[in-house]
Amino acid sequence: MVLLRAYTGLVADPGVHQSDQGLGLGPRAVLVPIKAFHEAKGRLDLALSGPERAALARAMAARVLDACGQLPVAVVCDDNDVADWARHRGALVVWEPGRGLNGAVEAGIDHLREAGVVHVTVSHADLPKASRLAEVGEAPGITLVPDRFGNGTNVIALPSDAGFRFSYGPGSFARHRAEAARLGLPVRVLDLPDLAWDIDEPADVVPVVAWGAATS
């Protein structure tokens, strides 16, 4: 992952962040929306304690950022801890409070486009086996990586000026394919096991522990 030193690090008021100014990012970048670690993965409450869920969320997010290789990375968030963590890891921070996942991703892409990025790869942060994310965005048009059930969209790469309407949630893979068709853009679907496994339910945690994902 490329370490970004071009951010301003400005804080308007104590505990309130501003978006970093992305200078010289290049034509491609990865955008990772990250929810507050202490609020993440609430559906795992029967399998993990609150601190364990937060530690798992942080570890998976770190794996995703590491999987970006040499591409610049931007984290879109509305949590101070996540923003500080992302900057410490050399990522650009796009501060977008109160927008929800779809709105935050769309705002993040707008921010990167204004910084000169032409093609953006958007990845969820809960991919414990994430690898080679940079390869997803190598083709023109839109690339979709569905989850292992073919239901959700774990990774999507697209032109930053496409005007793509994101629709995350159950069934998002079909909706995102339909959106690409609406825009008339070529679509590539990749079946990538390392990017297809996300963490949503307690049963998903056991394989993660077997793979050695840190939870502390």
Instruction: Give 124-153 pLDDT, tens digit per residue.
Output: 999 999 999 999 999 999 999 999 999 999
Q: Is residue 147 part of a domain?
A: yes
* Number of domains the chain is built from: 1
Q: Is residue 188 part of a domain?
A: yes
Q: Is residue 22 part of a domain?
A: yes
DSSP letters, 83-100, are: HHHHHHTT-EEEE-TT-H
Q: Whole-prediction pTM value?
A: 0.85
Neighbours of 55 (CB within 10 A): 17
pLDDT in the model for residue 20: 57
Q: Is residue 175 part of a domain?
A: yes
In the numeric block, which tokens belong to residue 98? 């109160």
Q: Is residue 3 part of a domain?
A: no
pLDDT in the model for residue 206: 47
Answer with the residue of higher pLDDT: 10 or 45. 45
Range of the domain at 195: 11-211
What CATH number should be reported for the domain holding residue 87?
3.90.550.10
- Give the model confidence (pLDDT) of 155-214 as tens digits: 999 999 999 999 999 999 999 999 999 999 999 999 999 999 998 665 566 444 444 444
Q: Is residue 216 part of a domain?
A: no
Count of alpha carbons within 13 angstroms of residue 66, beta-carbon side: 12
- Give the model confidence (pLDDT) of 6-40 as tens digits: 333 323 233 445 555 655 688 999 999 999 998 87
